Chains A and B, each alone.
Chain A
Amino acid sequence: MPQLAIHPESRPPFGLYQDFERHDESITARTSALGVRFDFRESAFWSNEVRFSDAWKRLRNTTTLADGWDTYQAEAPNAIAHDLAQRVLTTLEGAWLAPARVLPSAEGGIAISFVAGDRRAEIEVYNTGEVVAATYSSRGEPAVWELRDTEDALKTAIASIRVHLAD
């Protein structure tokens, strides 16, 4: 019985074959899969997911600290600071703005920080229930303000931070 064979030259002019020199499906498929995975990791979505996952992990790690964790006299973050930090992180996730770091603050609380080149921003939540935001760079007067305990105040601060980092 005659077998149907398609000559390589007669293949349709689309598909993976067109991107590579060799007409070898095993090579092109593997190469393509690696490319897709690379692109996925480079995507803003993936990068954001990874950074938030790291931020939540770091926040959980601050629950194990004892007073004096910084080798000086810093208070460990308490339940008030943890609750506030969780609220800030949740709002940041909704706003699609991932922090660079989440660390205990030597001031007694938790620091959520943002970095974009020379530009930086902080949201610090304290054991006292206070919340302070700051935007600054290597020069010039920093902008520092206290946030009232409302969702609107937090969203406004996040918007200001986003603008500062993008400038």
Chain B
Amino acid sequence: MYRHGRPILAEFCPDEPLYLRYGSDDFVAGTLDVSVLHFPRASVNRGRLSEPEDALFSETGEYNGLGVIELRVSDLPETIAQPQGPAYTFYMEHTPLDDNYSHSEICSEQAPCTGRLRTPSKTVKMRFRIEVSRMLTAERIRIAAVRARIAHNPTTA
């Protein structure tokens, strides 16, 4: 889990799992709800360097009871084009933290590639989130959630 000075590993294989925390109320009609997904700079744990349960690691136990779902690098749309405005490409970046070596982020840039992070419009982000949420069905659950992500979540209030 801890980085201990280990290097950044830039390469991601297409079938590499990416682990994301979720709560018991985050599924709607069989897939993870779009509102759960954040973009860009969405944090995930890469499977090459961690196990699903590592996504729930916290020294304070704040993630106990949450679940873990598996996304794969190949699930990310390569490009999203729009009729008016630039197309965007999506890629993974390994961004280790001191207490989480596997920490990575889903990033985007304008096509053609400039090598710089570009935040897409809300409509492109929504399309990206819809595409990803379609992949996140119950079969992708690695650890089942037994509580909502926040104590005063609307479904438990």
A70 to B38, CA, bound (A): 10
Residues on B with beta carbons closer than 8 Å to the beta carbon of A41: none
A64 to B157, CA, bound (A): 11
**Bitwise interface map of B from 120 to 142 toward A, beta carbon under 8 Å scored 1, else 0:** 01110111011100100000000
B149 touches A146 (CB 8 A): no
A122 touches B157 (CB 8 A): no
Give min CB distance, B140 to chain A, whole Å.
14
B1 proximal to A (CB < 8 A) = no
A38 proximal to B (CB < 8 A) = no
Query: What total of A-B pairs shows CB separation below 8 Å?
Result: 96
B13 proximal to A (CB < 8 A) = no
A120 proximal to B (CB < 8 A) = yes
Residue of B nearest to A100 (CB): B28
A117 to B39, CA, bound (A): 27
Give min CB distance, B137 to chain A, whole Å.
9
Complex A-B, nearest 6 residue pairs according to Cβ-Cβ distance, in ascending order: A111-B35, A106-B38, A58-B154, A61-B154, A105-B35, A61-B157
CB pairs A–B below 8 angstroms (28 shown): A58-B155, A61-B153, A61-B154, A62-B154, A69-B150, A70-B36, A70-B38, A71-B21, A72-B43, A73-B41, A106-B36, A106-B37, A106-B38, A107-B35, A107-B38, A107-B39, A107-B122, A107-B125, A111-B34, A111-B35, A117-B29, A132-B122, A132-B126, A134-B126, A134-B127, A142-B131, A144-B130, A146-B122
Name B residues whose Cβ lies closer than 8 Å to a Cβ of A: 21, 28-29, 31, 33-39, 41-43, 62-63, 66, 121-123, 125-127, 129-131, 134, 149-150, 152-155, 157
